[in-house]
Structure 1
Amino acid sequence: MVRRLSFVVASLFAVAFAAATSANAAGDKLVIELPSGKVVIQLRPDLAPKHVERVKTLAAEGFYNGVKWHRVMEGFMAQTGDPTGTGMGGSKLPDLPAEFSQEPYKRGTVGAARTADPNSANSQFFICFTDTGCSGLTGQYTVWGQVISGMENVDKIKRGEEGSGTVTDPDTMVKVYVE
């Protein structure tokens, strides 16, 4: 009887441990559904815990659904996250302090957009198109993710005007969620 009870208790602990491990692993990827397909971003709370938490919060609220890619520059990056579509807006939450690191910006790196004030990131972010186009951003902008699949869909986002990157008829993020 004691042996059987020990087996049951051990089994319950194993199930509880597996569930806890699964819960901790869940929610480490951001999925952006674009008209051309899905983009999966590995979140990097090890580099920017406050930024990752913000993005997860906004995604869970549906904040990013339908938001435009308002600034897209060939050879550089695609920027989104402004509900006004102008590049001047953000969420109602307070701005975030910078979480700069020496993680290099390269193709598929996701960074927090901001003004000249390093502590002004809010909801806007960008995805780098090339290794060389974004390399100068390292240590100057917060890295919070890396595209791990679907970069070919990022490459299909409509480009903006030469120089400014302003997109006349922008693509949108159809749906954004954490998995």
Structure 2
Amino acid sequence: MSLSALLLAAALGLQTPDPAMPPATAVEWRTVSPDNLLVIDTSRGRILVELAPAIAPLHVERIRLLAGRGFYDGISFHRVIEGFMAQTGDPLGTGDGQSPFPDLTAEFTFRRGPEMDFVVVSAPQGQQYGFIGSLPVATQPDALMGRTADGRVHGWGVYCPGVAGMARGEANDSANSQFFLMRDAYPSLEKRYTVWGRVVSGLEVVRQIKVGEGAGGMVPAPADQMRRVRVAADLPESERPTVRVADPRTPAFRARLNQARAARGADFSICDLELPVQVEG
């Protein structure tokens, strides 16, 4: 059995790939645009996040702006909860800080049209679950597009492990600079906090970040830090990582998806799937 086959099976939660299945080499790869790749170098290692401008354009624009200005450099992960998430982006390190820019309008949901590259993996109870890029999303079914005024349907990001969300205060439109990276799935956040991307490499780093103590998960000093945060397009070419994500439409991936879904039965969730990734640099 090849290493690539083992890696793909592991990514889909399978113990061993069925020899009758298409080989892992049949997988096709999509290269993440440098404009949509956030490179977070931390005291624990590197985290790579694919941005989702089609889902949350205002929040992605803010992340790009702050990263380009070096705002996030040296900022700590001030609130980290085991089994939940790691939060950062506060220059004060207390949970009360933010950037000098105005708060953002919430983008808890989005409108999905037929032009969006959406790959369905399951359709329970009148909803569709799938991927837009590397981001797991849930939407109303395609059949409803013909019944809406704008020809689109309602969609939202699914808070699977690695998903990046924007922190906020009590008001919906109060997100600014603080964000969090999911250590594990947490569906109760859906349609309540804006999703703006997903970790495509470095989830193990997210899970190694120092956990807070006591109520609220606040991390005592010394906390782990983001040493440098940049969009890949802003880095010199010699320093830019190249990230390729498996295309979930290929027969090899779909076959393994079907096998995983059969194994999990009624417990199957899109959060059980991770798209295989290749990273260079």
TM-score (norm 1): 0.84
Q: How many residues align?
A: 155
Check conservation: 1:77, 1:128, Cα contact below 8 A.
Answer: yes
Match of residue 191, structure 2, among 133, 136, 139: 139
Which residue identity does 1:164 align to in structure 2?
G
State the shift of 1:76 in Å.
0.6
Using the aligned pairs only, state the percent identity: 48
Q: Whole-Å Cα distance in 2 between the matches of residues 157 and 88 of structure 1?
A: 21
Q: Return the structure number with greater strand share.
A: 2
Deviation sequence 1:96-118 (CA, Å, 0-9, x none)? 00001221111000000000100
Q: In angstroms, what is the RMSD of aligned CA positions?
A: 1.4
Aligned to 1:160: 212
One-letter identity of the residue aligned with 1:65: D
Is the CA contact (8 Å cut-off) linking 1:82 and 1:123 kept in structure 2? yes
- In structure 2, how many angstroms separate the alpha carbons of the residues matched to 1:158 and 1:37? 13
Aligned residue in 2 for 1:111: 165
Distance in structure 1 (CA, Å) of the matches to 2:201 and 2:98: 26
CA deviations on 1:123-143 (whole Å, 9 max, x unpaired) are 000011111xx2100000000
Once the two structures are TM-superposed, the CA of residue 34 in structure 1 deviates from its matched residue by: 1.0
Normalised by the size of structure 2, how large is the TM-score?
A: 0.54
Distance in 2 (CA, whole Å) between partners of 1:162 and 1:135 is: 23
CA deviation map 1:125-166 (0-9, x unaligned): 0011111xx210000000001000011111110000133101
- Which of 32, 57, 61 is the aligned partner of 2:69? 61
Q: Which runs of 5+ in 2 are unaligned?
A: 1-30, 110-155, 233-281
2:43 aligned to 28, 32, 35, which one? 35
- Give the letter for the 1:172 counterpart: Q
Paired position in structure 1 for 2:202: 150
- Residues 73, 162 of structure 1: 8 Å contact kept: no
